[in-house]
């Protein structure tokens, strides 16, 4: 099952696609467009509240597609990240990028690169960046969201915490989006697949779309 295009005549601008392409990140182009379509679908429903949430910003590659969907609708995307990187971004790991290390602290800091991406994409008035851990942000959050996109830390603890903290905020009829879901362990890590299974097992969500490793679950109760 693949997620259909909401409106084949609507797409991110060339400048937005260029900004996303230039940003460091790990979202394949076809999954990014599927993310755009799904965000636009749920933000434009008659009962939409006009807010989408992204857990895991990094440098804003996927955020561009979410913001591009929200912008013409007058909706808002809130993207949450501590900007110190996940486990795989740390020194000695496969995805460590020395260009993103802050010389003052000696640690990874992707916040400035994220702001550059939003500037280049023309999305500074559409996207709100929260610089904190997702579980900390959840403690002060207080309203339903049309979608929550989980693409943060891929350790078991981080993934489970993101699901527990943020899935309750998906409004009835809204969507829980989970990235890097691989049923075959040979294809990728298990935590995103495990929270995908947990969300379905709760009975609160049903699967309505699949595109690559992106899963779209709609809240039904």
DSSP 180: S
| Active-site residue identified among 82, 83, 89, 154 | 154
Is 154 considered catalytic here?
Answer: yes
Residue from 210, 191, 211, 217 nearest 30 by CA: 211
Give the span between the Cα atoms of 195 and 162, in whole angstroms.
9
Contacts for 39 with CB less than 8 Å, ≥ 6 apart: 52, 65, 66, 69, 70, 77, 147, 149
Distances (CA, A) of 68 to 133, 159, 204: 24, 26, 28
Angle, alpha carbons 55-51-82 (nearest 5°): 25
**And the tokens for 190?**
């298990």
Give the span between the Cα atoms of 134 and 42, in whole angstroms.
22
Contacts for 83 with CB less than 8 Å, ≥ 6 apart: 57, 108, 109, 110, 111, 114, 131
Catalytic residues: 154
């Amino acid at each position: 099952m693949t997620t259909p295009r909401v409106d084949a005549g609507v797409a991110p601008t060339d400048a937005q696609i260029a900004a996303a392409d230039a940003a460091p990140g790990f979202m394949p182009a076809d999954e990014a467009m599927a993310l755009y379509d799904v965000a636009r679908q749920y933000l434009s429903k008659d009962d939409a509240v006009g807010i989408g949430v992204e857990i895991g910003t990094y440098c804003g590659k996927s955020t561009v597609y979410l913001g591009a969907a929200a912008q013409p609708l007058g909706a808002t995307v809130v993207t949450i990240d501590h900007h110190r990187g996940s486990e795989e971004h740390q020194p000695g790991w496969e995805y460590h990028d020395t260009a993103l290390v802050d010389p003052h602290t000696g640690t990874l800091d992707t916040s400035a690169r994220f702001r550059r991406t939003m500037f280049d994409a023309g999305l500074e008035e559409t996207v709100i960046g929260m610089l904190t851990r997702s579980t900390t942000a959840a403690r002060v959050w207080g309203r339903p969201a049309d979608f929550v996109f989980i693409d943060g830390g891929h350790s078991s603890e981080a993934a489970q915490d993101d699901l527990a903290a943020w899935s309750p905020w998906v409004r009835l009829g809204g969507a829980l989006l989970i990235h890097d879901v691989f049923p075959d362990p040979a294809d990728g890590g298990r935590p995103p697949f495990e929270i995908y299974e947990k969300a379905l097992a709760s009975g609160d969500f049903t699967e309505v779309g699949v595109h690559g490793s992106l899963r779209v679950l709609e809240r039904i109760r």
